[in-house]
Amino acid sequence: MKRFLRFFIYMLALLPIACSDKNDDGGPVPVITWAETSARFRVYVDEALMLVPDIEGTDETTTYVWTIDGAVVSTSDSFTFLSHETGEFFVHIAVTNRFGSAEDEVKVTVLESQNAELPELPAETRLWCFPWTEINVAQGRTITAKAYLLQAPAAEATYLWTFDGVAGQESAIDDSVVEYHFPASDQGTHHLTLTIHTPDTTASQDFIVNVCPPAGTYRRSFTGEALVNKIYEYMPAPGHQVNGYIIVGDSYPEGCTHEQACDSVLAHFQRRWSISLGSQGGYVIAGFDHSVKNSDGDYDLCVKGNPFSYQSEPGIIWVSQDDNGDGLPNDQWFELSGSELNKDTHSTDYAITYYRPSAARSAIAWRDRYGQTGYVPYLSYWNPHDSYWQPWVEGSQHTFFGSRLADRSTYTNGYSDIPPYDWGYVDNLGSDFIDGPAGKMNYFRLSNARNSDGTPAQLEYIDFIKIQTAQTGSTPNLGDISTEVYYISDYHMEK
């Protein structure tokens, strides 16, 4: 999520504030105002709070002195407060210029930390998970069914695929993934079953593959509309900019349905307002009223985020064709490759599960398929909403599937830096962030679409686009890394 001081000061400038006074010499003395009342300055133990007052009457002589209990803690125009203990703290600021000075004091209440607790999961729910169990695919392509193993497999374990009732060969395990590559040669509905046998367990999972007519059968004609015209899914991962964010307010109130959230997202795009995808894996799926052609090397898609030199929050793009012609994004997806393809910084077959918090105003725990754990921090100053779990996300947990980029964020002396990757990602200040026909944003080529094995997909067109937050990480003052999107359009309609 973006924390950029100029925008914040701009927002403060929209609030009614007192005009600067002048001393007897005619010069303006400093005036200190705040966007929040002191009651809003509540944080948890070890939670960073950036104090940024709006100060009028500054010039080249202006000095700043922040103190707590008489001790100087900063001489900058802002101060990042952090305490390892609970209690009430009074932070004093004095601002002085050549004409005079102003002072103010705010109270910061530090509360006991709200821990993000991981639930104890039954063994059967920790066996495996699946990116999909039913899919539509065009005739002539190859689709890969996958099971991600969530436990270390027993040495005696065997994995057997059955295709249309006929048992096949045992499947090998590659990086805790069991795969079946299915050439979609015969149209119709086909059934796969994966069965695991261990000395203690026998379990199975069914997959349905609907082989549709060849690609191009349901290609739609061009229209005059560049912008996506429908939002099919908006499933942000937990994040503190999704709802209740201090700058934009409660966008998604309690009781908001998924359909209402999708309508809100489309309205945001039509105004070029931002949406947040939340933490790792959170996504939006949009569609065009026509098929977007692959120009075989030129740009084909435009996506606006809001990256900065010190903060990129890259999102990965997936694209799809309407293979079965039903107008819904329930077909095979292809990742648009970026600069990190085939590098250690890019991981495929990733899955991360978030757990609904049991207490208000608390962090949200997560566990990924490798057993790594963490949490999405609760930052009360930036978002005082009771929960960062979205009201239309059902159940006590939710799993996201996709690819992941390595988290390269750093936090030093109160400042965060999230560097960009070279190219190929949304909300990323890479070489493809240019001032093009749709404005200053990232531009993408459909020729970069890849099959699951990394080979070129060679799509002639696409109908749907999916954008996902690609990094798992957070910093104390910026919070969770979360891709933002303002606008998605067909590049060919923008020229």
pLDDT tens for each residue of 293-308: 999 989 999 999 999 8
Tell whether the model's pLDDT for residue 89 goes beyond 70: yes
- Residue 82's pLDDT band, with cuts at 50, 70 and 90, is confident
What's the DSSP call for residue 57?
S
Q: What is the pLDDT of residue 19?
A: 40
Nearest by Cα to 149 from 171, 170, 130: 130
Mean pLDDT of the chain: 87
Helix (H) or strand (E) holding 461: strand 461-469
250 confidence band (pLDDT: 50, 70, 90): low
- pTM given for the model: 0.81
- Average pLDDT value for residue range 414-421: 84
Per-residue pLDDT of 116-166, as tens digits, reads: 667 766 555 578 999 999 999 999 999 999 999 887 777 788 899 999 998
Q: 159 by DSSP, 3-state: which?
A: strand
> What share of the chain has pLDDT > 90, as a percent?
58
Average pLDDT over residues 314-339: 98
The single-letter code of the amino acid at 286 is: A
235 in helix, strand or coil?
Answer: strand
What sign for the dihedral angle of Cα 430, 435, 437, 441?
A: positive
* CATH superfamily to which 123-212 belongs: Immunoglobulins (2.60.40.10)
How does DSSP classify residue 308? B
What phi, psi does 76 have (nearest 5°)? -100, 175
Domain ranges of the chain: 5-111, 123-212, 230-494
Q: Which of 279, 287, 235, 243 is nearest to 259 (CA)?
A: 235
The structure tokens listed for 394 are 């059902």
pLDDT for 5 beyond 50: no
5-111 is classed in which CATH architecture? Sandwich (2.60)
353 sits in which H/E element: strand 346-355
On the question of pLDDT at 495 being above 80, the answer is no
Give the HSE-up count for residue 419: Cα atoms under 13 Å, Cβ half-sphere. 5
Same fold, 5-111 and 123-212: yes
The model's pLDDT over 203-249, given as tens digits with 9 standing for 90+, comes to: 999 999 999 999 999 999 988 899 999 999 999 999 988 876 666 65
pLDDT at 469: 97
Distance CA 428, CA 443 (A): 11
Annotate 357-410 with DSSP letters as a single string: -SSTT--EEEEETTS-EEEEPP-TTT---S-SS-TT--SSEEEEEEEEE----E
Give the pair of three-digit tokens for residue 376. Answer: 């999405």
Q: Which pLDDT value is given to residue 475?
A: 81
Predicted confidence at residue 17, as pLDDT, reads: 36
Q: Label each residue of the chain as H, E or C.
A: CCCCHHHHHHHHHCCCCCCCCECCCCCECCEEECCCCHHHCEEECCCCEEECCEEECCCCCCEEEEEECCEEEECCCCEEECCCCCEEEEEEEEEEECCEEEEEEEEEEEECCCCCCCCCCCHHHHCEECCCCEEEEECCCEEEEEEEECCCCCCCCEEEEEECCEEEEECCEECCEEEEEEECCCCEEEEEEEEEECCCCEEEEEEEEEEECCCCCCCCCCCCCCECCEEEEEECCCCCCCCCECCCECCCCCCCCHHHHHHHHHHHHHHCCCEECCCCCCEEEEEEEEEEECCCCCCCEEEECCCECCECCCEEEEEECCCCCCCCCCECEEEECCCCCCCCCEEEEEEEEEECCCCCCCCEEEEECCCCEEEECCCCCCCCCCCCCCCCCCCCEEEEEEEEECCCCEEECCEEEECCCCCCCECCCCCCEEEECCEEEEEECHHHEECCCCCECCCCEEEEEEEEECCCCEECCCEECCCEECEEEEHHHHC
| pLDDT score of 110 | 81
What percent of the chain is predicted at pLDDT more than 70?
Answer: 88
